[in-house]
Amino acid sequence: MRRASDQETQRKFSRRALLLAGVKLGLFGTLAGRLYYLQVIEAQRYSVLSEDNQFNLELLPPIRGRIFDRNGALLAANRANFRVEIVAEQTNHVERTLSALRDLVHIDDWDVKRVLRDTRRKRGFVPITVVENLTRTDISRVAVNAPYLPGIRIKVGRSRNYPFGNAAVHLTGYVAAVSEAELTGDPVLELPDFRIGKSGIEKLYDLDLRGSSGRRQVEVNALGRIIRKLPGEEGQPGRDVSLTIDVRLQTMATERLARGNSEVVSVQDPRVQDALQRGQNLSAGTNAETGIVNLDRKGRISLPESGAVVVMDVHLGDILALVSTPAFDPNLFNKGLSPKDWEFLLSHPRFPMTNKAIAGQYPPGSTFKMLVCLAALEAGVAVPNTKVFCPGYMELGDARFHCWKKHGHGKLNMTGAIEQSCDVYLYEMAKRLGIDRIANLASRFGLGEKLEVELPGERRGLVPTREWKLATRGQTWQKGETLITGIGQGFLLCTPLQLATMTARLVNGGYAVTPRLVYETDSDEPDFENLNIPAHHLNVVIEGMNKVVNGERGTARGARQKDDPFQFGGKTGSVQVKRISKAERLSGIIKNEDRPWRDRDHAMFVAFAPLDAPRYAVSVVVEHGGGGSKIAAPIARDILVETLRIDPAHVGSRSFGLDDIG
C-alpha cells in the first residue's frame, strides 16, 4: 500500500517536472524567436534608428546684419560676448564654486539662485550660463584662476551693441529674447541665446537682419552627451541696412532738445548744491548718472525736456535726424533688464519707450496757420492783401474767441497775420472756408494719414471733418469748431514727422515729398506728385514765414542771431493743454514757467533753411515747454546751423529759391 502511494507521488512529480520543462522550453523558444525577429528580420530598421539617435542636428545661429547711418557710421553692430558657464558634474560643490567665482567677477544674487535652480533641473553635463557680457579684464581674471574653479569654463559668443546708446534707440530699436507669443515654428527662434528685433529698424527689418541659420551634426551617447562635432554648413549672415540719418546731427539734436533752455552743469556746481539744500533732489532722468544736471533760469534742477525733432531734406525726403526724448539705453536689454528697470521705463511720466517723432500726436497750433491761409487763397475767399481788423477777439453767436494778444493786432494783411500769428485773422479765414476745404488741403500736405516711414508704430494723427464727428461722436459739426481748427487746435492732431513733411511740401515748390529712412545708394532721385498749388500762393505763406523770424514784429525774431551764417524762415506755435477760464483771464494768466509741468503749453516750431534756397525742413515739439518762440525756435535754429555746417555741399546741389516758385 505504501509502495503504491510512493509510485503515485513519483508519477505526479514527473508530470509536473515535464510540464515545467515544457513551459521553460516555450519561454526560451519565444525569446529566441523575438531575438531572431529583432536581430535578423528588423536589423536594418533598428540600425537606422540607432544611427538617428547617435547623430543629432545642431543649429548654428546666423550673424545678425548691421545698421549704418548715411556716412557708414555703425548704429547697431555685433561684438564679442564673453560669458562664464558652469558644468555641474565637473565640480563637487556648485555653491562653493560660485562663491569663489563671485570673488573675481560681479554676480547678482538672483543669478546665483537661477544657476542653482537650473542645476537641479538639468543633467549634470549640460552647461549653464552664470554671467555674460564680461569685460576682457574680468575674463582674464577668471582664466588665471581656472585651476581653482572646477566646472567653470569660458565661452565667447556675439551680442548686439549700440554705440550711440539712447541717441539713436528710437531709430534702431533693440533686440531681446524671443517670447512664447513670437514663436513661429522656426527652430532657430528656440535657441536659448537667440535675439530678435523688438522695436525700430531691428523689428521692421528683422527677417532681413536675421539671416539664415547654419547646421551641423553632433554625435551623442545614450544620455545625450555630445561626444563629437562634425563639419556642417555655414549659415547666411543677415543683410546690412543703411539709413538716411546722419548720426552727428542725430546726436547733436538729441542733446540740444533735452537741454532746452536749461544750462547743463556739473553735479558739483555750487548752484546744484544750493538747490539740493533748498529741498530739491536729483530726480530720475536728470543726467546725474553721467555727472551733469540741468538747471533752469531760476536755478532749479530740471528734468531733460520731453519732445521730438525731425530734420528732413525737402526735395528728396531723406530724414537726417529723428529724435525723441527722453530715451533709454538699448544695451540694457543685452545685459538683461531687471524687473525694477523695466518697471521704471514703463512708469516713467515722460514715456521714454514712445517714439514721439512718429507716435506723439499733438494739436499743431499756430504752425497750422500757413495751410489755412493757403486754403483761403486757393478757394478765392481771400487775396494776399485781404485785411482783417483784430480787436483781440471775435464773437460768434454768444461765444467769444480770443486772440493770444489781449488788446489785438489792429488791421493786418495775410503775411502780417502769419508774421504776428494773429488768431482773429485765422478765425475769419476759417469761417469763410468751412471745415471741409480746410481738411482737404491739410490732407494734401500730409496730415491725417500715415506717411509710411520705415518704422513700426507710426500714428496717423487726425484731420476732423463733419462726417468724422458724426460717425465717432454722434454729433453735428459746430461753426465754433471750425474757428478753433483754423488756429490748429480742437480735434486736429498731427505728429512731428507730419509737421516736417508739411513744411517740406510748402517750401519745395508744392511737391508731395514723402519721408524715407532707409537709404538706398543706388536708387534714382524720387519723382513726387505735384500738388498743383500756384507758385504765387506758396510765395505768400513763405514770405510770412520769413517775417516770423526776420520781420520787425515776427513772433520768432528773438531766435535770430547776428552771427548766424544763413537766414531761415519758420512758424511758432504754442498749444494750450488746459483751457483758460474767464476768471483766469480777468485775474491774470499764470505764466507757463510758474504752472505745474503738465499744465504748461506745448512749444512748437517748424522752419526751413536756407531762406533763399530751401533745402532742409525741421519740426520741433517740446512737450509742456511753454512758448514756441522762447524754447522751440532757438532749438530749431541751432539744429539748422549744425545741419548746414556738417553738410554744406548738399545745399547747392538742387536749389529752389523764392524766385523759382514766385
Catalytic residues: 366
Residue 134: partners with Cβ closer than 8 Å, 6 or more residues away: 82, 83, 84, 105, 142
CA gap 168, 183 in Å, rounded: 28
Phi, psi of 184 (to 5 degrees): -115, 0
Among 250, 327, 323, 330, which Cα is nearest to 76's? 330
Number of H helices, E strands in the chain: 25, 22
Element (H, E) at 374: helix 369-379
Q: Are 174 and 333 in contact (CB under 8 A)?
A: yes
Residue 382: partners with Cβ closer than 8 Å, 6 or more residues away: 373, 376, 414, 429, 432
What amino acid is encoded at 654 in this protein? R
**Angle in degrees, 0-180, between the axes of helices 633-646 and 247-259, rounded to the nearest 10:** 160
**Other CB atoms closer than 10 Å to residue 149's CB: what's the count?**
18
Residue found under cell 548715411: 70
Q: Based on the number of CB atoms within 10 Å of its own CB, is 74 exposed (0-12), middle (13-18) or buried (19 or more)?
A: middle
Q: Does a cis peptide bond (omega within 30 degrees of 0) precede residue 610?
A: yes
CA gap 330, 337 in Å, rounded: 10
Q: Are 390 and 420 in contact (CB under 8 A)?
A: no
Residue 401: partners with Cβ closer than 8 Å, 6 or more residues away: 393, 394, 395, 423, 424, 427, 480, 483, 484
Helices (H), 39-193: 43-54, 94-102, 109-121, 136-144, 169-172
Residue 314: partners with Cβ closer than 8 Å, 6 or more residues away: 503, 504, 505, 507, 508, 513, 608, 614, 615, 616, 617
Residue 237 C-alpha cell reads as: 549672415
Give, as one character, the DSSP assignment of residue 494.
B
Q: Are 68 and 240 in contact (CB under 8 A)?
A: yes
Q: Please report, for residues 371, 376, 438, 502, the alpha-carbon distance to residue 441 in angstroms, rounded to integers and kept in the order given.
A: 7, 10, 6, 11
